[in-house]
Amino acid sequence: MTVTYRRAADRTGGSGGGSPNAQFGLDPCPSCDTRYDVRVDPREAVVIRVSGRTCRECNPHWRPPETSGGRRRVTIVPTQPSGGPLRIETVSENVQDKSATCLPARVADAPHRDEETEASERTNAAWQRTVGPIVSTVLTEADRDAVERAWRPEHCETLEAVAEALDEAWATAVPMADETTVALRVAGLPAVTAGLVATVAARWTGREPIALTGELLRFTGAAICAETRNAVTCGRLRHELGTVTDVPDEGMVGLLETGFARALTATTSGITVGDLLGRLDAQPERVRVQDGVEEVAEAPAGPIGLSLAATAGVVDGPSSTAIFGA
């Protein structure tokens, strides 16, 4: 059956036949033998296939499952119903019997905003001086300039919502099945956050379990907030510290340095944030893919319909593969 879905084909540079994505071959989890296959289409989705039920070693979010066995498909989709705040909807589907459960939706909160004062400006400047050099060691000058031009505090809240959705999937859905496909659709996210999500996934170094992608997204958002003089409004910094003071917290700075570096220092993928921002668009071309999924409506209603639309191309998959393990 032929289905139509939105998918952007990657046509630009990078080594390896014109695709910017990297390929990594790492050993499976030594404790439970779970294997991971991660595919990144920078303008469409991050697809993580999990063979095994994971354990606390390779999935720190693991919880004892209520049921076990079979195959599941988890789809994480950004939506913005009726022009309201951005929501991250998650559907967990049993592939065999087609039953589905909607996991808690995550809403990108409005950033905290106070009137700008001399004190807040002093605090933002102090964090920028401290964290700026960290960001400079991770992002190239071109990437840094591109992110700085696009970044808003709202983007950090979006990364937080995506991170929460990923954490929930790893905690509740993945341990239930022998095989799980987690499809995180980046199309529909603001361009800068879509680019960062794709970049973090594609540059994974294997130093930490892939299940900690959400944590790395949080570190990335907080570091960029601090570097762009948005420390006072940063939800993650406020959550961790309570009050963001004009003397940057040494422990938090250390976490940002190590966490942000883990997220983005691997450069073998060929993906650059600046390049992604130049190529991401609101209407990727439509392609037709042969696949066994029933034809979906042009504008599917509800999270189940969104799930089918977003995962229609999972069998075909994004343009290149990166294989990760813990």
d(CA 41, CA 15): 16
**Could you give phi then psi for residue 220, rounded to 5 degrees?**
-60, -50
What average pLDDT does the structure give for the chain?
A: 78
Say if strands 321-324 and 35-41 run parallel, antiparallel, or are unpaired.
antiparallel
d(CA 256, CA 186): 24
Least confident of 4-8, 50-54, 67-71, 287-291: 4-8
Residue 211 and residue 170 in contact, taking contact as beta carbons nearer than 8 Å: yes
Predicted confidence at residue 107, as pLDDT, reads 93
Mean pLDDT of 165-176: 95
Mean pLDDT of 20-40: 76
Predicted confidence at residue 55, as pLDDT, reads 94
pTM, full prediction = 0.80
